[in-house]
Amino acid sequence: MPSSLFSRRNFVNAVGALAGGSLLSYSVGCKQPTISQPKEAALETGGPADYTLTIAVTPLELAPNRIVSTATYNGQFPGPLLRFQEGKQVTIDIHNQTDTPEQLHWHGQFVSTDVDGAAEEGTPFIPAHGKRRIQFVPKPSGYRFYHTHVHAGANLNAGHYTGLVGPVYIEPKNNPGNYDREIFLVLKEFEPTLSRGGDMDMNFLSPAATIKDLKDSGENAMNASLAKGMPHGFEVGYGSFTINGRMLGSGEPIRVKPGERVLFHVLNGSATEIRSLALPGHTFTVVAMDGNPIPKPVTVPGLWLGTAERISAIVEMNHPGIWILGDMANDDRQHGMGIVVEYAGQKGKPQWVAPKPFQWNYAQFGTPGAAVPKADQVFEMTFAKQNAAQDGFNRWTINGVAFAEDHMQPMFRVKQGQRYRLRMRNASDDIHPVHLHRHSFELTRVAGQPTSGVFKDVVMVGGYQEMEIDFVADNPGLTLFHCHQQLHMDFGFMALFEYV
Ligand SMILES: [Cu+2]
């Protein structure tokens, strides 16, 4: 099908004109994040902001008679979809109506430490019952997001356990637009509880090869801890699972027509969980990862996303019926992690059919065998777990050091303009979705397999595996690196890079 039923750019302009600066909801079948459009007003300091985000604890209806109380942006989940123009400065007022200071992180954007939204880098807090005005130039183009960035620790009403997540789309200067429409999906669990240990699906990453010395060291540490009578460290489980804040069957379906090409922008907004997504009888043609176009589109049977990862993928609607677009984990899907896809003229109960098992290999999205520039310096990083070592929570270390409020010295030094390689070695059995602030990185080696051309800001490092990522130090200022799993980042899994 030719590019589109309506041009996305024209649509955005039309919405902007209609909206006249106010918030407005639009419907494309399923419940979509509200689009927040900029005011036409001048940008001078002291004038009105382009956008206002208000952090407050509000009720959130996940399903009929299933209402949770959690912190949200503007009283909704997800927070409003912010559509920025690449390179065009925005002014944003952030109000905090809660009792605790907040940070709002612009995930995946190349902004300064003053606005990035990480106290560890020096971003000022948005005070409790206060506000902060920020300005920045949105970049790079693509699917980004914003979220809270505070320490939660044992408090499951704080940090990413809340509803403080919202999507950002930065309009590119040129947009190929080979799709009919876009749908934003934010995957998110609510009602968190602590448990002793949990089981994470570990078998989906490829290559699957593990490294003996990492495995020996991780298993020895775990066995020594258990032998001393320690229980397993706490993990977090959830009572309800949602897409765009609605449990499967509770929200509006995604209504489609045969032949439509739908571009899904999927975000894993979870605090702690890895998510998957499949649609029976359909495939996903991945065009971008973490908002960055990949070298060429790749078609896969389903998606896997670590915490904070984004995938933009086109689904051609060529298998009429009533289907569940849902997580491949049966238990999570049955507790809400799904949304109905309804073809025009079709009737009946939504059907789920599991796809044939498949592996998730980041290298398949890159250019095999292409040479990558030589790094100016290689940083080795070993990730390790100290079972239940901190008030029953696992403590996490990078090169033997657990990051903590009284232990925030930068661990790595970089010079502007140089290319660095992080050789990450995971001496634990957990998968870690690691994130670098204010920069993107290129995957150069995935569990031993060389690759290039895939630029991301979060990547899952498999249990007892190695991964190499390269980044260019091109955005001066303290730069936070951390695991995006809230339990891991809160209990030590962070490090700072400083420019020297
Ligand atoms: Cu982690």
Q: What distance in angstroms lies between residue 53's CA and the mean position of ligand 1's atoms?
A: 29
Q: What distance in angstroms lies between residue 430's CA and the mean position of ligand 1's atoms?
A: 7
**Strands (E) located in 141-253:** 142-148, 165-171, 181-196, 234-243
Q: What distance in angstroms lies between residue 8's CA and the mean position of ligand 1's atoms?
A: 37
Q: What distance in angstroms lies between residue 419's CA and the mean position of ligand 1's atoms?
A: 25
What are the distances in angstroms from CA 330 to CA 195, 222, 341? Answer: 20, 29, 18
What span, in angstroms and rounded, lies between the C-alpha atoms of 43 and 303? 40
Q: Are 289 and 298 in contact (CB under 8 A)?
A: no
Q: What distance in angstroms lies between residue 222's CA and the mean position of ligand 1's atoms?
A: 16
Counting as low any pLDDT under 70, the low residues of the chain are 1-45, 175-177, 197-202
pTM: 0.91
Q: What distance in angstroms lies between residue 406's CA and the mean position of ligand 1's atoms?
A: 21
Q: What distance in angstroms lies between residue 482's CA and the mean position of ligand 1's atoms?
A: 8
Q: What distance in angstroms lies between residue 460's CA and the mean position of ligand 1's atoms?
A: 9
Q: What distance in angstroms lies between residue 250's CA and the mean position of ligand 1's atoms?
A: 32
Query: Which of the 8 DSSP states describes residue 41?
Result: S
CA Rg value for the chain: 22
- Both tokens assigned to 140: 């790079």
Q: What distance in angstroms lies between residue 308's CA and the mean position of ligand 1's atoms?
A: 12
pLDDT at 292: 97
Which residues, in sequence order, are bridge partners of residue 469? 422, 443
Q: What distance in angstroms lies between residue 107's CA and the mean position of ligand 1's atoms?
A: 17
Residue type, 106: W
Q: What distance in angstroms lies between residue 211's CA and the mean position of ligand 1's atoms?
A: 18
Q: What distance in angstroms lies between residue 489's CA and the mean position of ligand 1's atoms?
A: 7
Candidates 384, 461, 453; CA nearest to 423 is: 461
Q: What distance in angstroms lies between residue 113's CA and the mean position of ligand 1's atoms?
A: 23
Q: What distance in angstroms lies between residue 260's CA and the mean position of ligand 1's atoms?
A: 38
What are the distances in angstroms from CA 334 to CA 65, 84, 273, 328? Answer: 17, 36, 16, 10
CB atoms within 10 A of CB 478: 19
Q: What kind and span of H or E run contains 326? A: strand 322-326
Q: What distance in angstroms lies between residue 97's CA and the mean position of ligand 1's atoms?
A: 30
Q: What distance in angstroms lies between residue 196's CA and the mean position of ligand 1's atoms?
A: 17
What span, in angstroms and rounded, lies between the C-alpha atoms of 453 and 442? 6
- Both tokens assigned to 185: 């999906």
Residue type, 247: M
pLDDT at 34: 60
pLDDT at 33: 59
Candidates 279, 75, 87, 321; CA nearest to 183 is: 279
Look at residue 375 and give its three-state secondary structure: coil
Q: What distance in angstroms lies between residue 149's CA and the mean position of ligand 1's atoms?
A: 15
Q: What distance in angstroms lies between residue 490's CA and the mean position of ligand 1's atoms?
A: 10
Q: What distance in angstroms lies between residue 433's CA and the mean position of ligand 1's atoms?
A: 6
What are the distances in angstroms from CA 451 to CA 11, 363, 414, 446, 479? Answer: 37, 5, 24, 7, 25
Q: What distance in angstroms lies between residue 434's CA and the mean position of ligand 1's atoms?
A: 7
CA–chain centroid gap for 158, Å, is: 17
What are the distances in angstroms from CA 373 to CA 94, 441, 497? Answer: 41, 13, 21
Backbone phi and psi for residue 99, each to the nearest 5 degrees, phi listed first? -90, 0
Q: What distance in angstroms lies between residue 473's CA and the mean position of ligand 1's atoms?
A: 24
Q: Are 397 and 482 in contact (CB under 8 A)?
A: no
Q: In this structure, is the dihedral angle defined by the CA atoms of residues 306, 310, 312 and 315, taken in order, positive or negative?
A: positive
What span, in angstroms and rounded, lies between the C-alpha atoms of 472 and 459? 17
